[in-house]
Structure 1
Amino acid sequence: MKTLFIPTDFTYQSLQSIPTIAQQYYPQKVDIRLVHMLKITDNIGELLMLSRRSTEYRQIPDNFYIRCRDLEKDFSHLINRIHIDIFYGSTVAVFNNYLDAHDVDAIVPPHDNYQLLFKNSIDPEILIEKCGKRVLANPETDGVIANLIAQEPELTEQQ
């Protein structure tokens, strides 16, 4: 099984390429890690509470979770599991530790309209360029799989 890292801003665009990417690994199933990246605070009080943080997770729209579960169900022959995560860090070493800890095999670059959602969000491309992991080409979503995606209702935009 392969594990793929996909930066997300919790919009529909973050999910569009998943079936196409997973198809590239068929008949092997893939684990998908959808991750939003935040630089870690230097405030000691916030650092002490970091393990209890849920502020960022509360910003994830419910329909994003629903769409992820639908993708797991609709493409169960391609996708083993979709994980949604927040990465805290801003150095290549910490990023590589995260990738190694989750056995990430390849990284999908962020979509064209990727948005930084929080004041401490970081551009994922900065760390992706330097991490040394295989970066997949941004897939074109054409053909049958794109038609399946196009039929799905779009997620609402962030508030």
Structure 2
Amino acid sequence: MRKTILIPTDFSVQSLSVLKSILGNNSSKNNFNIVLTHGYTLSNSIMDLLFYSKNQQINELKTSEFNQALEVIKNKYQSQINSITIKLFNGFTVAAFNTFLEANCIEEIFIADQKMNFKNKKSFNLGPFIKKCNGKFTTVNVTSFSEATVKDKVAEVFNQMSIG
């Protein structure tokens, strides 16, 4: 059965631990359409909006470590992943978030039990929208990454996957 899920991301390796947990504990062997979503406030400047590109903004927010970890997850769980897309949510209201969920056919939202670390001042937490929306959401307990360098975090994802 194919299921479309949303996972909020801050484009850190740690934020992918929710995805890894879902795929690693998938006993029903569902196939997933995964929508990684990031809250991002648009500029008020007309010039900025004229030249705004969601894909360019996503590429600026992603890190090479995030890309590497995402590729590892894609390779390890390719039989369970139908698609992975990354989208920005630019709304300000719960109604706008509900419309976003409906437009993307989201069946369930999975959030981490840990706080996200946003590095861009225009990024915002989707948690308040998720908790008030019409969609079903599940909080996932993820093992905390140790305070280590980013390289160690990527290596930790590799090690957890080879063990699990």
TM-score normalised over the length of structure 2: 0.75
Pick one of 32, 35, 56 that aligns with 1:33: 35
Amino acid at match of 1:67: A
C-alpha contact 2:54 2:88 (8 A) present in aligned 1: no
Q: Is 2:135 the partner of 1:121? A: no
C-alpha contact 1:19 1:78 (8 A) present in aligned 2: no
> In the comparison of the two structures, how many residue pairs are matched?
147
Aligned to 2:149: none
Q: C-alpha distance in 2, partners of 1:88/1:63?
A: 25
1:27-76: CA deviation from partner (whole Å, max 9, x where unpaired) = 22112111211123332222223346624422311231222122112112
Aligned to 2:159: 151
Amino acid at match of 2:111: P
Q: C-alpha distance in 1, partners of 2:91/2:80?
A: 30
Aligned to 2:99: 97
Q: Return the offset for 1:20.
A: 2.6
Aligned to 1:13: 14
Q: Percent identity?
A: 27
Q: C-alpha distance in 1, partners of 2:32/2:54?
A: 29
Q: List gaps (5 residues or longer) in structure 1.
A: 142-147, 154-159
CA 1:34–1:111 in structure 2 vs 1: closer, same or farther (change >3 Å)? farther
Q: Return the offset for 1:78.
A: 2.1
Aligned to 1:83: 85
TM-score normalised over the length of structure 1: 0.77
> Residue 140 of structure 2 aligns to a residue in which SS?
coil
Q: Return the offset for 1:111.
A: 4.8
Q: C-alpha distance in 2, partners of 1:26/1:50?
A: 41
Q: List gaps (5 residues or longer) in structure 2.
A: 144-155
CA 1:51–1:140 in structure 2 vs 1: closer, same or farther (change >3 Å)? closer
Aligned to 2:69: 67
CA 1:69–1:136 in structure 2 vs 1: closer, same or farther (change >3 Å)? same
Q: Return the offset for 1:15.
A: 1.0
CA 1:26–1:52 in structure 2 vs 1: closer, same or farther (change >3 Å)? closer
Amino acid at match of 2:14: Q
